[in-house]
Structure 1
Amino acid sequence: MEKLPTSNKRPGNWVQTERAAHEAWASLIAKNANAARVMHLLVSQLGEHNAVVISQKNLAKLVGVTDRTVRNSLKLLKAENWIEVRQIGQNGTVNAYVVNDRIAWLGKRDGIRYSLFSATVIASSDEQPDADQLDQQPPLRKLPSLFHGEHQLPSGDGMPPPSEPTLPGMEPDLPATSRRDDREVNG
């Protein structure tokens, strides 16, 4: 069984469950231990909206069982409403698994159900079509970032500033001299 890489980007270290869910989980362990193991792995990787995207192949590798065992476990978990499955791609071997928020959830309980959701995506290098080139690719182009108090991205020399202090027709409506100066000149 392989170990998942740890990520510091996941919010918090806690997943919440209800007591009734623990009792149901105990029954699931007795009924199908592998399905319970798959469920535990999915819950351990929950994203902000209770979903994990992973291939069945990687799930099997992480749980330490065959692909067929994972498919049967997922079928049982779906049939008994532990998870919902949202297919990613055409062949159905990579899916988003949305954990029933009555079983386990991360963060606030209200507003978990969305048609669009964020998810933890788990993809191994051996699933990538260019796996043999992964360490040989040129680095991605870095984008400039904003620094303390800047309001726009730097983009080169730019244009020189306009020579006019104001735009035509937009001159300030202020006197050029103070009243005292006007009296001295006129007086």
Structure 2
Amino acid sequence: MSAIGSPSDTKGYHENYNFVQLSRNYLKEMRTLARKSPIAHEILYYLVEHMGRTTNAVVCSRKVLAEITGSSVATVGRAIRVLKDDNWIDTIKIGTANAYCVNERVFWQAARNQRQYAIFSATVIAAASEQESNYLEKAKHKLTYIPVIDDDNIVTTGNEELPPPDQKDLDL
């Protein structure tokens, strides 16, 4: 039996799972980005650190990125603009949050031959500071029972017990 990630691992999925690959062609531009906008550089590395294995995407709000970098939301907005203008990332709006898609020509995890599918999934990051103030208390409550419609089209709500089925309901 071989260790996961060894050359004889035939699945390949776990091989180098925690590694991110970087194209050497972009190192000079990365140094330029670090000088141009240290916050943009930090955000880019944060996104790469958390991006999905096959999609290079992370979903979070600018407020989360502001908390991560210790910057204002406005500063994060300017940094995101730099990253977009310089083609490090692209964004997809999802309500008030964004999916940040890292340029896969620069950073990637999965083999490039696994990138032929148009599947969108992402790492989603939600901060406690963005939730309702009582979200921890709400999480302790049992969810409401989902109504059930029986054969007689009677809506049942709450935790009421249904009568046992009549034999005429059984296919014998």
Q: Which amino acid aligns with 1:138?
A: K
State the alpha-carbon separation in 2 of the partners of residues 50 and 125 from structure 1.
Answer: 24
Alignment of 1:100 onto 2:103? yes
Pick aligned residue for 2:74 from 40, 50, 68:
68
State the alpha-carbon separation in 1 of the partners of residues 29 and 125 from structure 2.
Answer: 27
Alignment of 1:138 onto 2:142? yes
Instruction: Tell me if structure 1 keeps the 8 A contact 2:55–2:119.
Output: no
Q: 1:114 to 1:58 in 2, by over 3 A?
A: farther
1:25-76 per-position Cα deviation (integer Å, ceiling 9, x unaligned): 1110011111101101000101031100011101110122111111000011
Pick aligned residue for 1:28 from 28, 33, 39:
33
Instruction: Tell me if structure 2 keeps the 8 A contact 1:51–1:98.
Output: yes
Q: Which residue of 2 aligns with 1:41?
A: 46
State the alpha-carbon separation in 1 of the partners of residues 139 and 131 from structure 2.
Answer: 12
Instruction: Give the structure-1-normalised TM-score.
Output: 0.62
SS in 2 for 1:97: strand
Higher CA-based Rg: 1
Q: 1:112 to 1:64 in 2, by over 3 A?
A: farther
State the alpha-carbon separation in 2 of the partners of residues 94 and 113 from structure 1.
Answer: 26
1:74-130 per-position Cα deviation (integer Å, ceiling 9, x unaligned): 0110111100100001xxx41000000111011112353755411000012232245
State the alpha-carbon separation in 2 of the partners of residues 67 and 118 from structure 1.
Answer: 25
Instruction: Tell me if structure 2 keeps the 8 A contact 1:49–1:113.
Output: no
Instruction: Give the structure-2-normalised TM-score.
Output: 0.67
Instruction: Tell me if structure 2 keeps the 8 A contact 1:50–1:98.
Output: yes
Instruction: Tell me if structure 2 keeps the 8 A contact 1:49–1:119.
Output: yes
State the alpha-carbon separation in 1 of the partners of residues 128 and 68 from structure 2.
Answer: 14
Please provide the CA RMSD for this pair. Answer: 2.3
